[in-house]
Amino acid sequence: MKTRYASIAVLLGLTLSAAASAQGDAEKGKSLAYTCTGCHGIAGYKNVYPHYHVPRIGGQNYEYLVTALTAYRTGERPHPTMRAQAESFSEQDIRDIATYLSGQGRAAQ
């Protein structure tokens, strides 16, 4: 019986480790997200052309950030500046950035 519980504990530990690593490295993400703050880190910032409110992304949902950055990278989401930024990111870079940003304070709308 002890062996069964030990096996379950090991499997649970491996599952939790895999889930944590499936996201990313927040420290690497912090370094990669540095340029994001130039637009997304300024409260009330509006882009000059086209004119629109630039959302704050700190505290945004992890899955949303991964999906959005991936879509910018592939061109599914059209925005020249965001595409230029995202094209340089690997899938791991995107997970790292999303891990860092999702761990920040609540996103301002």
Spell out the SS3 assignment of the chain. CHHHHHHHHHHHHHHHHHHHHHCCCHHHHHHHHHHHHHHHCCCCCEECCCCEECCCCCCCCHHHHHHHHHHHHHCCCCCHHHHHHHHCCCHHHHHHHHHHHHCCCCCCC
Q: pLDDT over 90 for what percent of the chain?
A: 51
Residue 49: predicted pLDDT: 63
Predicted local distance difference test score (pLDDT) of residue 50: 63
Prediction pTM value: 0.72
Instruction: Note the pLDDT tens digit of each residue in 57-83.
Output: 999 999 999 999 999 999 999 999 899
Lowest pLDDT segment from 1-5, 24-28, 54-58 = 1-5
**Domain ranges (residues) in the chain:** 24-102
CATH number for the domain whose boundaries are 24-102? 1.10.760.10
